[in-house]
């Protein structure tokens, strides 16, 4: 039975598909890292078209990005969720744009191969289209992101079109949009009612037509994601949106067990929080007991630091000088007694 690709048409022959796959998977944007070419939008589209799912994670620093890149994670999102897991806020609203630029650049330096997507924080694109274009451009030019993500609906299609015309690849975040939670009083699930689901599908279609290169859908019933896939030809990344999505994303802190609470759609694969805590406790014990471990630095004059050796070299004795000093001191003392 023939399967359908992103565009809804029947797939080409196995030979043609294999040839096209080799072409896409061998093509680089001028940056071959030694572990394979950079993960481009074209390669992500090819993976989705061929039914090969891609893994995504939100992370926020060089070191984590380096390890996840080595693990083969295809896409790293520098999310505005950094306001929660890095800065400690209970919403994403306080995320500073300047910090987003810096964190994006850090993740880019750590990720040699993964596609790096930058989240546009609250009020970095809503107030003015010109400001939005400028900010998105900075994420590409200064942050070195491969694409930017905006929480949008169909009313933002003109902005997405302007960004596309400027050469800025946009991932349109639809469904539940955390930057809108102030309107509802907290986290919500979208698309449970038919009218809501219809609106999400309409948003997806409008944003694709405006030039979006990818879609991300959050916290919706799986059937809504399936409808979006059927109605559009873009790779769809899901978070709490069912298994049908071409890509899946989570916050890395949630995945590895660093969060005290995780959403219902998260199933951690590790429990690093307690292990980190125990490592801290062990360090406290070592410091208290004076056994910090490791290897000490050695002196260039190692003999002077050997056990039992004097640490300060004394000046050789001069008996004649010592005697003259003793005589002078005696004369001074005698004068003091007989003024």
Asked if the structure places residue 154 within a domain, the reply is yes
pLDDT at 208 over 50: yes
pLDDT > 70: percent of the chain? 78
Asked if the structure places residue 337 within a domain, the reply is no
Asked if the structure places residue 151 within a domain, the reply is yes
Asked if the structure places residue 339 within a domain, the reply is no
Mean pLDDT of the chain: 87
**20-24, 197-201, 254-258: the lowest-pLDDT one:** 20-24
Non-local CB neighbours of 203 within 8 Å, separated by 6+ positions: 152, 153, 154, 172, 174
How would residue 213 be classed by pLDDT, with cut points 50, 70 and 90? very high
Asked if the structure places residue 318 within a domain, the reply is no
Asked if the structure places residue 332 within a domain, the reply is no
Phi/psi at 14 (5° precision): -60, -40
Asked if the structure places residue 312 within a domain, the reply is no
**Burial level of 183, CB count in 10 A (0-12/13-18/19+)?**
exposed
Asked if the structure places residue 10 within a domain, the reply is no
- Contact of 122 with 152, CB cutoff 8 Å: no
pLDDT at 162: 98
The reported pTM is: 0.80
How would residue 219 be classed by pLDDT, with cut points 50, 70 and 90? very high
Q: What is the CA radius of gyration of the chain?
A: 31
d(CA 22, CA 219): 35
d(CA 315, CA 179): 74
3-state class (DSSP) for residue 193: coil
pLDDT at 232 over 90: yes
Domain of residue 211, CATH code? 3.20.20.60
Q: Which residues are catalytic?
A: 218
| Tally of domains within the chain | 1
Tally Cβ neighbours within 10 Å of residue 103: 24
pLDDT at 29 over 60: no
**157-161, 182-186, 216-220, 309-313: the lowest-pLDDT one:** 309-313
pLDDT at 290 over 80: yes
Q: In this predicted model, what pLDDT tens digit does every residue of 55-86 receive, in sequence order?
A: 999 999 999 999 999 999 999 999 999 999 99
Domain of residue 163 covers 52-255
């Amino acid at each position: 039975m023939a399967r359908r690709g992103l565009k809804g048409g029947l797939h080409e022959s196995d030979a043609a598909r294999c040839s096209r796959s080799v072409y896409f998977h061998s093509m680089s944007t001028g940056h071959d890292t030694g572990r394979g070419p950079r993960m481009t939008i074209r390669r992500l589209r090819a993976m989705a078209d061929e039914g090969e799912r891609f893994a995504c994670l939100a992370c926020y620093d060089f070191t984590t990005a380096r390890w996840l890149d080595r693990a083969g994670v295809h896409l790293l999102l520098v999310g505005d969720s950094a306001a929660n897991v890095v800065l400690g806020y209970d919403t994403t609203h306080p995320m500073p744009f300047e910090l987003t630029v810096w964190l994006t650049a850090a993740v880019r330096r750590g990720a040699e191969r993964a596609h790096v997507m930058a989240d546009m924080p609250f009020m970095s694109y809503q107030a003015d289209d010109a400001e939005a274009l400028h900010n998105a451009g900075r994420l590409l030019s200064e942050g070195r992101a491969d694409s930017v993500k905006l929480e949008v609906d169909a009313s933002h299609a003109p902005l997405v079109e302007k960004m596309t015309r400027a050469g800025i690849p946009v991932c349109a975040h639809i469904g539940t949009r955390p930057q809108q939670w102030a309107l509802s009083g907290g986290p919500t699930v979208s698309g449970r009612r038919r009218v809501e689901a219809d609106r999400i599908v309409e948003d997806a279609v409008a944003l694709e037509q405006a030039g979006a290169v990818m879609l991300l859908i959050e916290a919706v019933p799986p059937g809504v994601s399936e409808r979006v896939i059927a109605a559009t030809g873009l790779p769809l990344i899901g978070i709490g949106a069912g298994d049908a999505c071409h890509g899946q994303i989570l916050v890395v802190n949630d995945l590895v067990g660093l969060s005290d609470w995780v959403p219902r759609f998260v199933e951690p694969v590790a429990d690093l929080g307690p292990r980190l805590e125990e490592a801290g406790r062990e360090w406290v014990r070592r410091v208290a007991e004076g056994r910090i471990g490791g290897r000490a630095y050695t002196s260039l004059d190692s003999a002077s630091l050997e056990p039992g050796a004097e640490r300060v070299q004394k000046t050789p004795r001069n008996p004649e000088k010592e005697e003259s000093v003793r005589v002078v001191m005696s004369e001074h003392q005698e004068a003091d007694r007989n003024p």
